[in-house]
Structure 1
Amino acid sequence: MKKRSILAIALTAALLTGCAGAQNTAVEQSQNASVENSTSESVSEMTAEEITESSDDVPLKDLCADNFMLGVGINGSTLENQTLNLPEYMELSKKHFNSCTMTNLMKSGYILDQWGSIENLEKGDESPALFFGSIDPTLEWCKENGIKMRGHTLVWHTQAPNWFFREGYKDDGEYVDKETMLARMESYIKQLMTHVQENYPGVIYCWDVVNEAVEPDSYDPESFFMCRTKCGEDPNPWYETIGPDYVEAAFTYARKYADSDVKLFYNDYNTYQPVKTKAIYDLCASLKEKGLIDGIGMQGYWGLDYPSDQMIETAIRKFAELDLEIHVTELSIGVDEETPEQFDKQGKRYGDIFKLLKSLDSDNDGPAKITSVTLFGLIDHYREGDTTNTRIFYSDYKPKPAFYDIQEALK
């Protein structure tokens, strides 16, 4: 079973049922789809120690210590190509950040074990089988180095395997009924949280319990929070099997099994769009009334000139009315052309956003409890074929203008 599960993880990217829609959160996956099985190689001739020592500036995490935690994405879509395998990447991450997020390998498609689940059924056990080989190495690194982690994510319609929602855990089975799917959801959340909390106590300080359940372009008209019904042209399997109640159910189970000091978040993209801001507000207000939520995650797939600072501020001020924590969870600002001029503009944009976040933070007498900001990666082009240019270091680990602009903004 273990060998079979390891093989399943290596092939996960090809097997997952994904969302075909143009979602901002699919940026990394679409950029890297053609190289998912590439072997990670260092592009720098310097050692990890030399890279860390060559940057003798004050760590960014120390500059914002009075305001919020600073996180970095641990990128990668397989065990082989994840940035955990790059000593330079991890040393620099450890220096400048005190939080991290696994950008892919903690999603359910990498953890659920189809054949193990089928074997469970044959033994009379309805519970899904889980395999933790995709997440344990990074959790162990966090444990050894005193780095906290944002758990990302428990319930998401994308990168959740289709068979998980089907009779017999089979690809061609019919959708299971609501009661069965709720039981599978609870078991998945219980097993994952229990594994993490027993083996890596204190590492995960919060979870994105539900990801991207609000969708103004395809929603249940009877849902008070515009519950997503589609995943591109395909149905949202959580909605199909459970209905809009799946969001509250996920938070109910997460609260049931999370340690008392672990915070629960709802995470979404385009949170600055007024219609979506209101729907997310309504959803989180309902969850707060029931004692099920601690914060809102605002993904940051933003450009050089959109959304405006005012749009971001308006959304943050609205969410702040709920007195929940606010995290910027996936900050990524790209450029159209990799020129010095574009990278200068990128740097200014990063700097402006950090100045805005500091000004809105309650620690600076602002209205919002901003407690974590995560850059969704560290270096551009971290492996062969990767086209990402949203990071704050070049592929040779030299700081980009964005690094210095963020540094100045935090000072």
Structure 2
Amino acid sequence: MLTVSQAKALGYYIPSNYTETTVPKIDFTAVDKALQICYKNGLGVRGHTLIWQSQTTSWLFNTRYSSSGSYVSSTVMDARMEFYIKTIMNHVYSSNYGSVVYAWDVVNEYLHSPSTSGWVKIYGNVTTSPQFVKNAFRYAYETTSHFGLTNKVSLFYNDYNEYMESSNIIKMINYINSGTRYCNGIGYQSHLSTSFPSVDYYNSALQAFMNAGLEIQITELDAGATTETEQAAYSYNIMKAICEVKKAGANITGITWWGLSDNVSWRIDNPLLFSTLYVPKASYYRTLDAYTNVFN
């Protein structure tokens, strides 16, 4: 932990309504190394993720930042959230390598928050008009605005099973953007398998997001299958659907596959385009075919 004065000396952002005497010390070592590597190799970076209903340490929600503390009030948590978001983003864009970060998943999977989540304990049950989610986007937007990056860096709500939640996602983003457009659009995770969802079902959400005027980025694409032949056909059809919606006018600005190769994937059903590094599968070539066939 750091005292507020120590944190300020290190360049941390401390909101004017921050009433506590300490803040957690943030270790930027891994972040800085990754940014430097990407900068030197001409790679873009997604900032993933600032606020997530999962894998957030429990003491972040507690008094004194203590594992034995009780839940803080929403007002205290708002100040903590602003401290964290702005400190992270300020650090990135004040560095020599921050220009590689072209997008942020500001909030991840809020609509799937379990009742045990610290965010739910403090802010209440899941809704399509969550004030704290709007606040998170405002803090991020204020930071990109400060650095003159609102037209260069996009801010996303990221989630999974979007084809089941497209209506609620659109309602929530419209709420976030009421007044000022803080959220550029949707991070469409796209953890798929050949058995589900169907290409038409997947495409229905793309169409809905396009019609809502949202920027779309495919952020965590993988497609599990029992055979390479099955995966290749499915990958072709999914990529063809994405490209056709793009060609029809959708503001699709990025596609990220969720891993380099099957041998290091988080899944066991061989969902990626390479089996191991530098060893492409049939799905790799069929994905390229889909792009070529749509865009000639």
TM-score normalised by structure 2 residue count? 0.85
Q: Which residue of 1 aligns with 2:111?
A: 214
Secondary structure of the residue aligned to 1:297 is strand
- Measured on the aligned residues, the alpha-carbon RMSD in Å equals 2.0
Matches within 5 A, 1:147-186: 147-186=43-82
Q: CA deviation at 1:127?
A: 3.0
Is 2:35–2:98's contact at 8 Å kept on the other side of the alignment?
A: no
Matches within 5 A, 1:189-338: 189-199=85-95, 200-215=97-112, 228-230=113-115, 235-243=116-124, 244-258=130-144, 259-260=149-150, 261-273=152-164, 276-289=165-178, 290-336=180-226
Q: CA deviation at 1:126?
A: 3.4
- Structure 1, unaligned runs of 5 or more: 1-115, 216-227, 337-341
2:42 and 2:21 map into 1 onto residues whose CA distance is: 37
**What amino acid does structure 2 have at the position aligned with 1:120?**
T
Q: CA deviation at 1:151?
A: 0.8
Is 1:181–1:242's contact at 8 Å kept on the other side of the alignment?
A: no
1:206 and 1:213 map into 2 onto residues whose CA distance is: 18
2:195 and 2:212 map into 1 onto residues whose CA distance is: 28
**What amino acid does structure 1 have at the position aligned with 2:276?**
S
**What amino acid does structure 2 have at the position aligned with 1:162?**
S
**What amino acid does structure 2 have at the position aligned with 1:373?**
I
Secondary structure of the residue aligned to 1:272 is helix
Q: Deviations over 1:141-191 (max 9, x none)?
A: 111111111110000011110011111111111011111111110000011
2:176 and 2:154 map into 1 onto residues whose CA distance is: 13
Secondary structure of the residue aligned to 2:262 is coil
In structure 2, relative to structure 1, the CA distance for the partners of 1:125 and 1:262 (3 Å cut) is farther
Q: Which residue of 2 aligns with 1:144?
A: 40
How many residue pairs get matched? 267
Secondary structure of the residue aligned to 1:381 is helix
Is 2:191–2:220's contact at 8 Å kept on the other side of the alignment?
A: yes
2:274 and 2:76 map into 1 onto residues whose CA distance is: 47
In structure 2, relative to structure 1, the CA distance for the partners of 1:122 and 1:267 (3 Å cut) is same
Q: Which residue of 2 aligns with 1:19?
A: none
2:111 and 2:93 map into 1 onto residues whose CA distance is: 29
Runs of 4+ more than 6 Å apart = 121-124
- Structure 2, unaligned runs of 5 or more: 7-19, 125-129
Q: Which residue of 1 aligns with 2:288?
A: 407
Greater RCO, 1 or 2 (C-alpha within 8 Å, sep 6+):
1
The structure 1 residue matched to 2:84, chosen from 184, 188, 208, is 188
1:127 and 1:159 map into 2 onto residues whose CA distance is: 19
Q: Deviations over 1:255-312 (max 9, x none)?
A: 1112322111001100011xx1111110011223331111111111111132111111
Is 2:225–2:269's contact at 8 Å kept on the other side of the alignment?
A: no
**What amino acid does structure 1 have at the position aligned with 2:52?**
W
**What amino acid does structure 1 have at the position aligned with 2:176?**
L
Q: Which residue of 1 aligns with 2:15?
A: none
Q: CA deviation at 1:315?
A: 1.0
1:264 and 1:157 map into 2 onto residues whose CA distance is: 18
2:161 and 2:236 map into 1 onto residues whose CA distance is: 20
TM-score normalised by structure 1 residue count? 0.62
In structure 2, relative to structure 1, the CA distance for the partners of 1:323 and 1:163 (3 Å cut) is same
1:313 and 1:379 map into 2 onto residues whose CA distance is: 25
Secondary structure of the residue aligned to 1:313 is helix
2:134 and 2:22 map into 1 onto residues whose CA distance is: 22
2:284 and 2:269 map into 1 onto residues whose CA distance is: 16
